[in-house]
Amino acid sequence: RASKVDKNFLDDVKDYIHDGKIKSAITYCGKFDTPVARLVEKGIERIGRPLADIQSSIENIANLEVARLEKGLPLLATIAGGAPMIGFLGTVSGMVRAFFNMANAGNNIDITLLSSGIYEAMITTVGGLIVGILAYFGYNYLVNRISDVVFDLENATIEFMDVLNEPEVTAQTTKEKE
């Protein structure tokens, strides 16, 4: 959802700004629940201030948006790395159990004594690997999606700042906001 940006969004905002409809542009941005819309809305709210201030506020919003998107990634990375280790711990535990049963059986070693410990060892390995692999793929998928959002934010920042640097916009922004 965060990376879904209407292709005409920035063009529509640009039209509002060119027409001097600053409040309408802000209202329009508020209709979209995306990082790009929130970034552009913050920039529009700052129109009339020095461009460096606008740029700074946009960068701050972009940083907050990216931090919000990344907030669950450390947990997912921990699961991706930790699940196989927990599975391996179960493997060791199962093998210890198998050898313990074998040692206590003396000369009466039966395959059933070993099989429960080996089963425990294998099932925990499989479980840990499945969870770890899925978390790893999920983590990388989300990291790539966040990279796409960062790219969109950077493009929106450049495009928005270019709009503000256009001569007719600079002249209009010195006038009263709608």
Residue 178 has pLDDT above 50, yes or no: no
What is the predicted pLDDT for the residue at 3? Answer: 55
Model pTM score: 0.77
**How does residue 173 score in pLDDT terms, banded at 50, 70 and 90?**
low
Q: Is 60 exceeded by the pLDDT of residue 47?
A: yes
Percent of the chain whose pLDDT exceeds 90: 71
Q: Is 78 helix (H, G, I), strand (E, B) or coil?
A: helix
In this structure, how many other beta carbons lie within 10 angstroms of the beta carbon of residue 79? 17
C-alpha of 6 from chain center:
19
Give the phi and the psi of residue 49 in degrees, each rounded to 5. Answer: -90, 170
Residue 30 and residue 80: Cα distance in Å, rounded? 37
In the DSSP assignment, the letter for residue 175 is S
**Least confident segment among 102-106, 128-132, 163-167, 170-174:** 170-174
The tally of CA atoms less than 13 A away on the side-chain side of residue 50 is: 3
